[in-house]
Each structure stands twice: as structure tokens, then as C-alpha cells.
Amino acid sequence: MIFFIQLFISSNLYSQNNEDTWNGWLGLEKKGIKKESSAPVVWNEKENILWKTEIPGKGHSSPIVSAKNVFVTTAYTVEKNKLLSDIFQYLIYAASAFLFFVFVFQIRKFFADMKNFTVKNILQIWGFSFILGLVLYYAQTGIFFTGNDGSDHIIRSIRWYYSAMFVFLCIMLITYTLKIRLRNQILFLAGSLLFLCFMIWFRPAPEYYKISDSGYISDTILKAVKFAVWVILILIISLFFIKKKNVTTDNIKSIKKTRFILFIFISGITGFFILGMFGIGIYRILIVRDIPALSFDPFLEIFFRDNNVFKGMIFLGLVVWIISYISNFRNQFLIQSKKIFIGLIVLSTLVFIRNNFLLAGDETVYSVVCIDRASGKIRWSKDVFSGSLQNLHPDNTPASPTSLIADNLVYAYFGSPGLICMDEDGNKIWENTQLPFEDIHGIGTSPVYSDDKIIILNDQPKAPYLIALNSKSGKTEWLTKRKSWNNFHGAHRTPEIINYKGQKIIVTWGMYGLNGYDFLTGKELFDYPLKNSIGQLVASFQFSGDTLFAPDLKRFHAFHLGKLLEKIKSEIWSVKMQSKGPVCSSPVLYNNMLFMVSDNGYASCLDAKNGKLIWRTKLNGTYLSSCILINDNVFFSSTSGLTTVIAADKTFRKIAENKLPEPIFASLAPVNNQLFIRTTSHVWCVAKK
């Protein structure tokens, strides 16, 4: 009798503890719903915050919660070449100072020897000073412009184009140190063309930046060509400024050759210079928030925030340089100095190597952090993997997949670096580093769990696959290959494990459509063609009864799972979302209502039976984390740190707006009396004090 009483008590305690946890993505099997919780619906930085804990590094993984602990993953950059990079930076400072003082001395000497000072001399010094100022200025501020965070293809491309422009600025200065001769022009032309080919051929992420593809990269090249036309017109106009002189037929032939080569040379470097300029202009808005120099440097702020000022300054400087250079074909503004010639080559080489090779040698360290649920103190933080920097979308991080808890073990997944299994004390049980995922935007999908199997969908462009790992050993139980595609980005929807009429089915939505797989064997059960509205989506399914709900930006679909398995007409309804459907944020299903929010803040409620729109409203901000439902309220969290709470009802009713001082990218994690929120730098515990 006592045995049965103890068994009842222990099973009851387990049930309570199980209800008071949040074990994985959207609560693992809870679908983003917590029906009973006493956590407050109103909070701010000072109200109803039990504790907040700083988390180093970057990560958008949602918190997972056990009975005593909260777990998150993070990643941070280690500068492998920090000492050498710092040495190069000091050398850049020294070379810049050297060039400045030598140039000042040479200019003073040049003008001291002049008897007459003309308008052309003003153009000469203006064009020269403009380029010299840019070279020296960006040699010093380049450390802030390029930064030390090269974890994605955009930052690496910025460094690459920045370095290219810097090299060509130095080349333009070098033209003031050499006489305009045919030999010099041929050498400069050959060197410029070789460097141009080098920059294009070895550009970062060539699989993403394909010049032949349609899109904004092609538009950039078109803009550069249009600008080249303006350069040609400027060159033609500038020819009228060239001083006339009596020459022989041979002299005319020689001068024409020199002018022609000079024309090609200037057109070439100007065209690529502007190509690089527009390349940076594309990312201007994306990177403006990531440049520390903008916080204290007003010139850089204008340079990046106002694109017209940016273009105008470059255009003006190039026009003045071209006119002053050609108009003084005979009376050239010349500073003959081997020191300056060598100094410019050394300076441009230092900048190029440091930005593109030393900083690119950094690596990422991946960590799991355990926080005491009661006090908020970090119990332990373990570095589990390390590797080279990954390509990432600006809104993604190396630690975006949400971990999971099963049988008192923590499973943390990071994409290509691997999956690790640990106990709650941080001891490694096993790891699997044979889970490749190569994608231009980084990993976005999370692992799911059922019956001692961990399911991971790695929908990368080349060799995509669905894999089942044994949760006790980490060994592969089965692997199913999926159809590849010719593109640069993958799919990031977390798969759904559905228990349907006694059979467990894994449902995925990839680049080609819906697929169903047998949970035990990985055998494909159905293949239903269904295109995404845009290249890639993240939002996950919802399932109830026989119905599978598939969210999309432009359309929302409902399918009969049984008919999908029978491979007959299975679509129950499909409704247009007018580009206001969820892209990153997964919806929640409650009382036959589907609640969702688009990236740009359109919150919608659909009737789950027929897909009809019940209500739609515009919220402030950008929404990338999934919405959750607690009690009878839906929570939408934005990247501005604002969480809007609305009633889960057929009538839109706002309950509260709660603001935290940091962006929210991770989904909230509710338990019985607490709500855990991960912002970009902290984990917050919302609870009544």
C-alpha cells in the first residue's frame, strides 16, 4: 500500500514538474501554448523583474527551462590574429603620419618654387588634397569602419570593397609622383586591371554575389556603367583645358597614344571605384547600426546616413582630380619622391591585408550557459565547439537554434559545428560533429525530439537531408537525402513531429514543397509541391485533428494530413495574406483561431476552419520571434524590445505593452509562475516579487 502511495506521489510530482518546464522550441510538444500561468502580463525594466542576467556573445536561441535551471546558447568571436592585427594597425598609423608630413613638406617646396599661382594650380591642390584627405582619414578610421566582427558575408564584403577603394585612392595619389609617360601609363593600366580582376574573382561569397544574376548586384554594375558615361563626358570636356603647343607629327602620334591609355586607365579605376562605392551603398542601411565610429564621428555619420552626400562627395572629388590631372598635361603637378611612392604601396598593402586576411582569421566559439532559475546566477558556462566564422544574415547569429531538454539531458545544436548532449551540471555525454549545414544566411532550424530520437532538418542548397539521431548515443539511426536546388540560401523551417492515428510522421516544408516521412525509418510518405512566396521562410507549422496549417508570407494553407498520406487532393483552404503573413514568426492555434504576426508588424487572426480573416491590425516594430499564448493572451515581441499582449479573442483587444531596453529576437519561454525573455544581451525573469 505504501509503495503505491509513494508511486502516486512521485508520478504526481513528475507531472507537476513536467508542466512547470519549457523543454524546447515553442515548448517542444506544447506548440507555443501555456494554458495556466501566474506570470504577470505587465512588466518593464523596473517592474515585475525578478532578475536579469547578462549573457556574453550573440545568440537568438530561445530559453529552455527545467525544474531548476534555464539554458541558452551563445557564440562569441575570438581574435586569433589579434596581436598581429594590432601591429598592422600601429604600422598603418605610422605610415599615415609619415606620408602626411612628407607630403606637406613636398607641397610646400613645390609651391615655393612657383612664380605664378593660377586657377589650375587651385584645381591641382584641391583634387590632390581631397584624395590625400580620404586616404589619411580612412587609414585611421578604418578600424572602426570594418570592425572586428566578421561573422557574416556582408561585413566581409564591406571590408573587401572598402579595401579596394582604399587601394585605388592610393593609386590615384601615386599618379602625382610619376611623370605622365607612356611607360608609366601602361604599367598603371596593367596593374589596375590585374587588381580589378583579383578583386572580382576573389570577392567574398561569390556564390551569393553572382554578377550574371538579375537583382541588385546587376543593378549596381549598371549604375557603374552609367557613371562611366559621365566620366567619358568629363574627359572630353577636360580635353579643352589642355594647353596648345606646336608639335611634329610624331609628337602628335605619341601624345594621342598617351592620352588614349590615360583615358582607359582613368575610366577603369573610376568605374571600379564607383562599383565599390555602390556596393557599399547597398549595405549602407544594413551596416549603419554596426559601425561603432558612427556613435562619435559626425563625418562618418553623414557619409553613411545620407546617400546623396556620399555620392556627391566622391563624384566631386573624382571630377576635380580628372580635370586637374588632364588639363595639366604639360605643366603637371608633380611630387617626385620614392619615399612617397613606396609609402603609398606599403600603406595600401597593410590596410588590405589587415582587413581581409588578419581579421578574417578570427574564429567563433560556441557555448552553452546554465542559469539558476531561482536566483538568476550563472551556474556554469561551457565552450563546446569552435570553428571559422560562418556566413550569416544580419538578423541571424551563430547560436540561433533553440536547444531542447529530454530525460534530464540538454541537447544544444549549432549547425555545422555540431550537436552536443550534456547533463544539467555541464558534463558532456556525447557530441556529433558530422552534421554539415552550409548556407549564406546561417542556421535557423531547431532540433525536435520524440521517443529517444532527435530529428534535425538541414535544408542546405547542396546535399540537403533529414536525419534522426539516437538521443542516448548521438549515433545516426537513419538519414534521408532530399532534393538539392541551385541557389545560395537554404530553408529554415523546424520540422513537425505528428502522432497521427497511431503513426508518427515527420512533416517538412522545404524549397519544393511539403514532405512527410516515417518517424521510425525516414522513408518518404508523401511529396506535395508547394512553393514558398519568397526564397526562404522560417515560420513553422501548426497541427490539430486532421489539419496541418502551413504559414507563408503571401498565402496561408490548410491541408488534410490523411489525404496527403493518401496522395489525393488534400488542400482544405488557402487564403491570400496580401504579403502580411508570417515569415519568421510561427503562429499559435487556440480555440479554432490562428494568431500570427508578419515581420513588418501586421498581427492577424484567422478562422482555423475556413481561413477567413477575423481581424488584422498594425503593431509598431519588426517581429522575428514566434508568438506564444499564455492563459487567454497572445504575446508578440519585437526587435525594439516591445512585447504587445492581446486577448486571444475574435475581437482585437490590447491588454498591455511591455518595453525592455534591448531587442528581442528569441521566443518567450513561459512556465507556471515565471516568464523568461531573452534579449540581445540578457535573460530576464518576469515574475511577481
Choose one of 361, 392, 422: the last residue of a domain. 361
Among 300, 329, 361, the domain-final residue is 361
The residue with greater pLDDT, 238 or 459, is: 459
Range of the domain at 32: 2-79+362-686
Residues 6+ apart with CB under 8 A from 483: 464, 511, 512
What is the DSSP code (8-state) at residue 665? Answer: -
The least confident of 118-122, 263-267, 508-512 is 263-267
Which pLDDT does position 639 carry in this prediction? 95
How far CA 125 is from CA of 107, 109, 129, 645, in Å, comes to: 9, 13, 6, 62
Task: Decide: helix, strand or coil at residue 520.
Answer: coil
- In the prediction, which pLDDT does 338 show? 79
Based on the domain organization, do 408 and 521 belong to the same domain? yes
* The most confident of 100-109, 407-416, 435-444, 529-538, by mean pLDDT: 407-416
- Pair 344, 448 in one domain: no
pLDDT confidence of residue 3: 36
Among 172-186, 375-389, 589-603, 651-665, the range scoring the smallest mean pLDDT is: 172-186
How far apart (Å, rounded) are the C-alpha atoms in residues 256 and 436?
Answer: 59
Residues contacting residue 574 through CB under 8 Å, at least 6 positions apart: 555, 556, 557, 558, 611
Residue percentage of the chain with pLDDT more than 70: 67
Tell me what pLDDT residue 128 has: 65
* Alpha-carbon span 48 to 686, nearest angstrom: 6
**24 by DSSP, 3-state: which?**
coil
Helices (H), 147-214: 153-174, 182-201
Cβ contacts of 518 within 8 Å, gap of 6 or more? 503, 504, 505, 506, 525
Residue at grid coordinates 584624395: 131
Say whether both 46 and 116 belong to one domain: no
> pLDDT per residue over 151-198, tens digit each?
466 667 767 767 777 777 777 677 666 665 556 656 665 666 677 667
Q: Are residues 29 and 100 in the same domain?
A: no
* Rounded CA separation 253/236 (Å): 18
504-519 in b/e form (b: 16+ CB < 10 A) is: ebbbbbbbbbbbbbeb
CA gap 470, 474 in Å, rounded: 5
Same-domain check for residues 619 and 677: yes
User: In this predicted structure, what is the pLDDT of residue 323?
Assistant: 54
In this prediction, residue 209 has a pLDDT band, given cuts at 50, 70 and 90, of: low
Q: Are 59 and 88 within one domain? A: no
Hey, is 326 helix, strand or coil? Answer: helix
**Which among 577, 565, 497, 566 has a CA at the least distance from the CA of 537?**
577
How are the residues of the chain apportioned to helix, strand and coil, as percentages rounded to the nearest 5?
35, 25, 40
Cross-strand bridge partners of residue 527:
515
- pLDDT exceeds 80 at position 265: no
Retrieve residue 268's grid coordinates: 577603369
* Domain identity same for 73 and 128: no
Computed over every residue of the chain, the mean pLDDT equals 78
Q: How many Å apart are CA 632 and CA 515, to the nearest integer?
A: 33
**Distance between CA atoms of residues 650 and 614, nearest Å:** 6
pLDDT band at 413 (very low <50, low <70, confident <90, very high): very high
Contact between residue 581 and residue 554 where contact means Cβ atoms under 8 Å apart: yes
Q: Which residue has the higher pLDDT, 98 or 206?
A: 98
With bands split at pLDDT 50, 70 and 90, how would you rate the model's confidence at 298?
Answer: very low
Span 451-475, pLDDT tens digits? 999 999 998 888 899 999 999 999 9
How many other CB atoms are found less than 10 A from the CB of residue 677? Answer: 28
Would the CA dihedral through 670, 676, 677, 678 be positive or negative? Answer: negative
What residues does 654 pair with on adjacent strands?
A: 646
Helix or strand run (H / E) with residue 547:
strand 547-550
As a residue count, the chain comes to 689
Per the structure, the count of domains in the chain is 2
Q: What is the pLDDT of residue 604?
A: 97
The C-alpha atoms of residue 532 and residue 493 are separated, in whole angstroms, by: 11
The grid coordinates listed for 106 are 613636398
> CA 129 to CA 133: how far, in whole Å?
6
Q: List all residues 6 or more positions away from 101 whose beta carbon is below 8 Å from its beta carbon.
A: none
Q: Is the pLDDT of residue 281 over 90?
A: no
Q: What is the pTM of this model?
A: 0.76
Alpha-carbon distance of 528 to 567, in angstroms, equals 8
Number of alpha carbons in the 13 Å side-chain half-sphere of residue 204: 25
pLDDT of residue 342: 87
Could you tell me if 137 and 30 lie in one domain? no
Distances in Å between the alpha carbon of 25 and those of 328, 402, 455, 666, 682? 69, 6, 12, 10, 19
Are 505 and 604 within one domain?
yes
Cα 444 from chain centroid (whole Å): 12
Q: Which of 147-151, 435-439, 600-604 has the lowest mean pLDDT?
A: 147-151
Compute the distance between CA of residue 550 and CA of residue 543 in angstroms, rounded to an integer: 9
Which phi and psi (to 5°) does residue 604 adopt?
-135, 155
Question: Are the beta carbons of 88 and 410 closer than 8 angstroms?
Answer: no
C-alpha cell at 573: 483552404
What separation, in Å, do the N-terminal and C-terminal C-alpha atoms of the chain show? 41
The answer on 519 and 440 residing in a single domain is: yes
Residue where one domain finishes, among candidates 361, 386, 419:
361
Q: Which three cell numbers stand for residue 190?
A: 596593367
Residue 635 has which C-alpha cell?
Answer: 504575446
| Angle value at C-alpha 396, between 276 and 646, nearest 5 degrees | 125
| Angle at which helices 82-112 and 119-146 cross, to 10° | 170
Query: Which tens digits make up the pLDDT trace of 352-386?
Result: 888 888 877 778 999 999 999 999 999 999 999 99
pLDDT above 50: residue 302: no
User: Which of 198, 210, 132, 133 has the alpha carbon at shortest distance from 164?
Assistant: 198
Are the beta carbons of 537 and 598 closer than 8 angstroms? Answer: no
Helix (H) or strand (E) holding 132: helix 119-146
AA letter at 146: T
Closest of 645, 608, 649 to residue 627, by C-alpha: 645
50 plus 23 within the same structural domain: yes
Confidence at residue 4, expressed as pLDDT on a 0 to 100 scale: 36
Predicted confidence at residue 624, as pLDDT, reads 95
Q: What is the predicted pLDDT for the residue at 565? A: 95
210 has pLDDT over 50: yes
Residue 589, domain CATH: 2.130.10.10
pLDDT at 663: 95
Residue indicated by cell numbers 580635370? 323
**Residue 494, Cβ density class (10 Å: 0-12 exposed, 13-18 middle, ≥19 buried):** buried
CA–CA gap between residue 537 and residue 585 (Å, rounded): 9
* Whether 328 and 366 share a structural domain: no
Closest CA to 50 of 424, 405, 377: 377
Task: Write down the pLDDT at residue 354.
Answer: 87
Question: pLDDT tens across 523-536, in order?
Answer: 999 999 988 766 66
- Helix ranges, 202-330 (H): 216-239, 249-287, 298-305, 307-327
pLDDT band at 89, cuts 50/70/90? Answer: confident
Rounded CA-CA distance 317/338 in Å is 25
How is residue 687 written as a grid cell? 515574475
